[in-house]
């Protein structure tokens, strides 16, 4: 950095730097720091739009004794693909924690949020999926669906995939892209069929109406749900959480206001005090999956400590290395 001017990075340079980052390790460290009480993460700022449909999240925070604090603005406008624009947009601002000076403007177009969410899903699968994953099920066909599948390559040798999407053309495009990632992928006609065939299921949609029902879930299944990042959203029927042997969240505090656990507690089908944090599982403070017959759920609503870790990694990585 020269003088007091912040460093501004656009997506092409961010992507180069990101290619050298161990993102799964960064997310493990983020969740561990959070569950150890080292992170200061205020409530999420939020804007909701109806015409066109969309939402904006403002997340911010720091780790005690860390070098930076982060302010992240990320949006999802779900009609954007019709316009040829990705639904995810946004940027991250990184400030020096000691002085408050703006250190970097990361014009990532919302893609760092996509990547850290995909990596978080892989971390959840690493600690909670059954030892033998025979088929991966992806609910949704958008950017996050692709991110989740790509990052799963690092934690499971399974390459058999079934995918469900509302739009046949989008499902076909997802299948082509997944094939290029060396997956054997097939579109299915219903979420029920997907649940029947897969024992590692990832849900990635912004729906307000549950897509996955409790009666469909087989013993031994792990589910990672990442779409319900607002109070109105819900991908999993609450009966799934009441059936689950282990329910893990990224943030107990945040899950009181958004996500699958929030919805299940509100419906009376789940008790908040039975949920545990992913960081606690990573650290060995709480047990995750203990048998291949258990049903496990990871409810990931996205925590600012993840944004801090990925933004800090970008700033401390030299793409020329």
Q: Which domains does the chain have, with CATH numbers?
A: 7-112+305-315 (3.30.1780.10), 125-303 (3.40.50.720)
Contact 257, 284 (CB under 8 A): no
pLDDT of residue 318: 64
Contact 37, 31 (CB under 8 A): no
Torsion of Cα atoms, 206 then 207 then 212 then 214, to 10°: 110
Using one digit for the tens of pLDDT, what is the confidence trace for 83-99?
A: 988 888 999 999 999 99
Provide the pLDDT for residue 2.
44
| 3-state SS class at 28 | helix
- Res 321 pLDDT > 90: no
pLDDT score of 3 = 56
Alpha-carbon distance of 88 to 143, in angstroms, equals 8
172-186 pLDDT, tens digit per residue, is 999 999 999 999 999
pLDDT tens track for 33-55: 999 999 999 999 999 999 999 99
Predicted confidence (pLDDT) per residue in 217-227, tens digit:
999 999 999 99
- Report whether 41 contacts 137 (CB < 8 A): no
CB 26 within 8 A of CB 307: no
Single out the catalytic residue among 72, 153, 218, 266. 72
Give residue 1's pLDDT band: very low, low, confident or very high (50, 70, 90): very low
Q: What are the two backbone dihedrals, phi and then psi, of residue 223, each rounded to the nearest 5 degrees?
A: -125, 130
72 catalytically annotated: yes
């Amino acid at each position: 950095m020269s003088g007091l001017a912040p460093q501004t990075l656009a997506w092409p340079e961010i992507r180069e730097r990101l290619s050298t980052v161990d993102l799964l390790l960064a997310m493990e460290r983020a969740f561990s720091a959070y569950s150890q009480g080292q992170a200061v993460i205020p409530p999420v700022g939020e804007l909701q739009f109806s015409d066109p449909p969309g939402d904006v999240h403002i997340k911010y925070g720091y780790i005690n004794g860390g070098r930076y604090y982060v302010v992240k603005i990320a949006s999802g406008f779900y009609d954007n693909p019709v316009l040829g624009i990705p639904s995810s947009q946004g940027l991250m601002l990184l400030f020096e924690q000691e002085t408050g000076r703006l250190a970097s403007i990361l014009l990532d177009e919302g893609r760092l949020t996509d990547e850290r969410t995909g990596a978080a899903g892989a971390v959840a699968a690493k600690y909670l999926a059954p030892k033998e994953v025979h088929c991966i099920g992806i609910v949704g066909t958008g950017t996050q669906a692709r991110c989740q599948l790509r990052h799963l390559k690092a934690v499971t040798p399974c390459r058999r995939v079934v995918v469900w999407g509302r739009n046949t053309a989008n499902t076909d495009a997802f299948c082509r892209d997944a094939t290029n990632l060396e997956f054997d992928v097939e579109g299915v006609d219903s979420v029920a069929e997907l649940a029947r065939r897969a024992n590692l299921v990832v849900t990635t949609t912004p729906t307000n109406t549950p897509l996955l029902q409790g009666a469909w879930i087989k013993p031994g299944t792990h589910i990672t749900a990442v779409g319900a990042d607002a109070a109105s959203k819900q991908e999993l029927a609450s009966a799934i959480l009441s059936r689950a042997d282990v329910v893990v969240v990224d943030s107990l505090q945040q899950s009181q206001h958004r996500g699958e656990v929030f919805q299940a507690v509100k419906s009376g089908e789940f008790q908040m005090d039975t949920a545990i944090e992913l960081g606690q599982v990573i650290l060995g403070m709480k047990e995750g999956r203990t048998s291949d017959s258990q049903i496990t759920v990871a409810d990931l609503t996205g925590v600012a400590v993840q944004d801090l870790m990925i933004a800090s990694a970008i700033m401390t990585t030299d793409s020329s290395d």
